[in-house]
Structure 1
Amino acid sequence: MTYKVLVVDDSSFFRRRVTDILNKDPQLEVIDVAVNGQEAVDKALLLKPDVITMDIEMPVLNGIDAVKKIMARSPTAILMFSSLTHQGAKATLDALEAGALDFLPKKFSEIAQNSDEAGSLLRQRVIQLAKKGGVSRRHLSRERTTLVNRNISSKVPAGTRKPIVPETPISSQKQASSLKASSGKKYNLLAIGTSTGGPVALQKILTQLPQDFPLPIILIQHMPATFTNAFASRLNSLCKINVKEASDGDTLMPGCAYLAPGGRQMIITGKEQHAKIKIMDDTSEKITFRPSVDVSFGSAGKVFGGNVLGVILTGMGADGREGSRMLKASGSTIWAQDEQSCVVYGMPQAVTVAGISQLSLPLDAIASSILKEIRHG
């Protein structure tokens, strides 16, 4: 199957470069280009591409507003290109909230050591986003309209994204629309790991937690170093709980979420009742992600033992599987986001097919299920 791609950028050089990279894969075909946001909106409606790559800063109509119009008129998987600056981070987060599914740095040298590696990563991301399965445009349009209406009425940002059908069968793990009753376990930490689609998923969950949430929370989101502070600040402004980018030496406090800084590792140290955060540089070739869910989850297991509720959300790859395995071996509980509500059913699928997660939940039900499990509220 060949996936159709629309490339949107006001730079003719960048349009040619992205087109050449994508067309190297027989699964991808760049069917057209657009030079501004309005042209992108028009061509998205006319051509119905499977994926759109979108610049942010463009004439006539910028990328963020173009995403909003496309998602309202012809919902499509959109990959944003972003500058790795504070302003670029804010704009990218705005685009994700508007409906874009993923992003990559516009300077390919910032995501890979060479052009071949960067091209391979771009093609992989586009193919993954294109795999929408049997999701109809009517369903996506209805979903988007519901989310927009919810935003207008409650000012709570949109959450779910277009589902991706997994390429391998899910295991016999228990599927649930929501948690029916608490297991009665004691918890002293909530740990959440995610990647592609994570910013919106985290926002969806954390904005539903009450101010007196009784546990500290650690958040591991695959994200560039220049993005995590802006993302933590955005979450803090929207949530009742406190959210901050984790700093070396932070003491874990109830009702506070600590976001692992991009480009480094977040380790949990100390004793369970006085646990602290250690932020480390990591040059190990064995670990792909910085921050890594495996690293943070594994360290949490050493400090908190079986008193961790771990949740793996949408994301590409398998980061979090081994860390979740370590947590479960200590007696902790692991949940995964279900396939239907994931942007990319990679990380949740990894813990599911390995038999590590005990429950699979839709994104809409995760926050309420957490509160029910810890018997709060």
Structure 2
Amino acid sequence: MAGGVRAVVADDSHFMRSVISDILADGGIDVVAQARNGREAVEAVVQHEPDAVTMDVEMPEMDGIEATERIMAERPTPVLMLSAHTDENADVTFEALDKGAVDFFTKPGGEVSMEMSRLKDQLVDIVSSVAEVDVGGSGQSTATTTRQRDRSRPESASYTANPTLVVGSSTGGPKMVEQVLSALPLSADLRVLVVQHMPEGFTGRFAERIDARSDYDVTEATDGARIGGGEALVAAGDRHMEIKNYRNGRLRVKLTQEDPVNSVRPAVDVTMATAADVIDDPLVGVILTGMGEDGADGIQRIKAAGGRTIAQDEATSAVYGMPKRAVETGCVDDVLPIDDIANGILDTITTEVTS
């Protein structure tokens, strides 16, 4: 998987640069240069033209955010941010995603070398996946554009009662999720559940970002949380989100720390499977960009329960892993570019348009 991938490692810590470079090299990734700060990172990218960059957030002279912005302007290259588990780092990490970074990976705490060793396979996999992303492509549009286009739908559109939407995504997903939810009108009265592969400490900030960009009331899930129409929950990092019960248009979730599913927690499959088991009103499952196969089983479960299913297309997916696996099940009703997914969701719950 990693064969042929060339990477630049940027970190102001000599120790961390060495640990990360060794892990990547052991995984078959060619580390063509190391950088001590953002300025050196930009220079290394221009000089070596790597397939991917691992970028520390906080560095002297030029931080990771400015370096990412410069790289995207001078030689667009997939960037993976390496961030610590702090609220401040969560904020700047999302800012880096806004500047063009593809995804992020959390730096280990405590015994760094032991933690990094434990996470080494994950780091090699995500760098390999990020390296495949076409950051110079024009397939991805902005949430603002999509929201304007989707709001051209007639105000008189009538929707089925009590619909529930489950959205799953991974690598490259945060911006895509924001785009889709920002385009959904409150009149659709959806109950929305979002499962984004994201570590603990970041999902709360992610929920706040979606809430600010969406007409829906979006919060991070807590154990026992209930939502009704016009509300959304984002699965908490390191917790599976199960649908515990559903009554009178309101659903309640349960958070667990049971074993990872598809090597991840939270897992899309867990939320989709329990939604299919519990919810008897209209149900829509959507799989967006991401590495791995999480969500494929969940899509089958939703389809078997009579729900509707949508997957993002390859052209607009940062990583066409999860959507591809979902499509391969034969249980996906529509494969759509990111710009059309919000309308695709609304189409599944629209009953009529009156004059």
Q: Retained in 2: the 8 A contact 1:337–1:360?
A: yes
Structure 1 residues 77-116: aligned runs within 5 Å: 77-107=78-108, 115-116=116-117
**Alignment-derived partner of residue 19 in structure 1:** 21
Distance of aligned partners of 1:249 and 1:115 in 2 relative to their CA distance in 1, 3 Å threshold: closer
Q: CA deviation at 1:270?
A: 2.5
**Alignment-derived partner of residue 171 in structure 1:** none
Q: CA deviation at 1:222?
A: 1.1
SS of alignment partner, residue 6 of structure 1? strand
Structure 1 residues 118-133: aligned runs within 5 Å: 118-132=119-133
Distance of aligned partners of 1:185 and 1:254 in 2 relative to their CA distance in 1, 3 Å threshold: closer
SS of alignment partner, residue 226 of structure 2? coil
**Alignment-derived partner of residue 138 in structure 2:** 143
TM-score (norm 1): 0.82
**Alignment-derived partner of residue 349 in structure 1:** 324
**Alignment-derived partner of residue 208 in structure 1:** 183
Identity of aligned residues (%): 35
Distance of aligned partners of 1:155 and 1:341 in 2 relative to their CA distance in 1, 3 Å threshold: closer
Cα deviations by residue, 1:77-129 (Å, 9 ceiling, x for unpaired): 11110011111111111111211112111117799985544222211111122
**Alignment-derived partner of residue 63 in structure 1:** 64
Q: Retained in 2: the 8 A contact 1:23–1:30?
A: yes
Cα deviations by residue, 1:113-164 (Å, 9 ceiling, x for unpaired): 85544222211111122234xx5xxxx54639x96xx69xx6999xxxxxxx
More strand by share: 2
Cα deviations by residue, 1:232-287 (Å, 9 ceiling, x for unpaired): 11111122221111223333211111111111121213335343323322233666
TM-score (norm 2): 0.87
Q: Retained in 2: the 8 A contact 1:187–1:374?
A: no
- The match for 1:278 among 242, 250, 253 is 253
Separation in structure 2 between the aligned mates of residue 141 and residue 278 of structure 1, nearest angstrom: 39
Letter in 1 for 2:176: A
SS of alignment partner, residue 120 of structure 1? helix
Q: Retained in 2: the 8 A contact 1:212–1:241?
A: no
Separation in structure 2 between the aligned mates of residue 92 and residue 114 of structure 1, nearest angstrom: 21
**Alignment-derived partner of residue 302 in structure 2:** 327
**Alignment-derived partner of residue 292 in structure 1:** 267
Correspondence 1:318 to 2:293: yes
Distance of aligned partners of 1:282 and 1:141 in 2 relative to their CA distance in 1, 3 Å threshold: closer
SS of alignment partner, residue 87 of structure 1? helix
Letter in 1 for 2:138: E
Separation in structure 2 between the aligned mates of residue 155 and residue 288 of structure 1, nearest angstrom: 35
Q: CA deviation at 1:68?
A: 1.3
**Alignment-derived partner of residue 54 in structure 1:** 55
Task: Provide structure 1 residue ranges, at least 5 long, that are not aligned to the other structure.
Answer: 158-181
Q: Retained in 1: the 8 A contact 2:27–2:121?
A: no
**Alignment-derived partner of residue 4 in structure 2:** 2
**Alignment-derived partner of residue 166 in structure 1:** none
SS of alignment partner, residue 215 of structure 2? coil
**Alignment-derived partner of residue 301 in structure 1:** 276
**Alignment-derived partner of residue 46 in structure 2:** 45
SS of alignment partner, residue 26 of structure 2? coil
Separation in structure 2 between the aligned mates of residue 212 and residue 100 of structure 1, nearest angstrom: 33
**Alignment-derived partner of residue 174 in structure 1:** none
Structure 1 residues 215-226: aligned runs within 5 Å: 215-226=190-201
Distance of aligned partners of 1:112 and 1:243 in 2 relative to their CA distance in 1, 3 Å threshold: farther
